[in-house]
Amino acid sequence: MLDSEWARSWEYARCTVQLQDDSETGGAEALFDQALSNGLAAIVAKEWPGHEVRRDGKMKSANDLLDVIVSELPEVTPGVQALAFEDGEDEGTIQVATGLLRQAIGTTQPIRHARPSQGSRLQPIHVEALVALDDHPALRRLRDEHFDEYWKQETHNDRHAQVRAAWYVEQLRATREEWDRRRTDDYLDQFLPADPKDRYGGLGTASCPVCEQDALVVTRFDDFGAGVGAGTCCVCGYTRTEFMANDEAETRRMIGY
């Protein structure tokens, strides 16, 4: 993938994700235009190389890029063009709602440039038309972008869970008695299956990254076979989610640990 292609698809996805979360967010109109210009430029450059730029070498506007699509492709229903793509073995068709996308541009421009807007605003249906472009092989980054958002949220939550548990460990250590009690086999036993057969077949415990005790009662291992357990530590209460277990496994795989 060319650098410019990568950058356009990334810009498209970054802005579209925010609109999917909230199509009325502040600056939604600018986000929409940025996403659309980049998404269309990526598609046009891939399908009709060179047609994404004007004669003077500058990039075409979103409206001009829609003109290219309208002139090159058959209209399947009023305001909708079908784009059949082929990228190696990857074949398919996407519907480009050129009519709706033009309507959206007509809505965003007055707001962006402080002109009277006659009250029309960006609608969820416009965002849907924007999202539909992601099926084209030049884009296909929305899933990645969502993953990034999810990853940020999960790691943020995990950091908080670790800080909370670390604070709790500090309190426990201050009352030495409880700290000692929690580190005995008898204490751990309460959290493991009573039946020896179940216990043998169970997933056991793992070392807790917060209190460093072998007390994280595993409910599931990561999907990569790295042996990272998800579960809750019965000493400090820290819970490693399945997502974080997989993330840790991925990190270990990448650094060859």
Binding site for Zn ion (CB under 5 A): 208, 210-211, 233, 235-236, 238
Cα separation, 44 vs 169, whole angstroms: 58
Class of residue 156 by CB neighbours under 10 A (exposed 0-12, middle 13-18, buried 19+)? exposed
**In 3D, which of 220, 216, 213, 210 has the Cα closest to residue 243?**
220
Question: Considering the complex, what minimum distance in angstroms separates the CB of residue 202 from Zn ion?
Answer: 18
Residues paired with residue 96 on neighbouring β-strands, in sequence order: 81
What angle in degrees, to the nearest 10, is found between the helix axes of 3-21 and 28-47?
A: 140
Question: Considering the complex, what minimum distance in angstroms separates the CB of residue 235 from Zn ion?
Answer: 5
Which C-beta is closer to Zn ion: that of 129 or that of 235?
Answer: 235
**In 3D, which of 131, 8, 114, 6 has the Cα closest to residue 60?**
8
Question: Considering the complex, what minimum distance in angstroms separates the CB of residue 219 from Zn ion?
Answer: 15
Question: Considering the complex, what minimum distance in angstroms separates the CB of residue 185 from Zn ion?
Answer: 16
**In 3D, which of 156, 138, 154 has the Cα closest to residue 146?**
154
Judge contact between 10 and 36, C-beta under 8 A: no
Question: Considering the complex, what minimum distance in angstroms separates the CB of residue 208 from Zn ion?
Answer: 3
In degrees and rounded to multiples of 5, residue 116 shows phi and psi of -60, 130
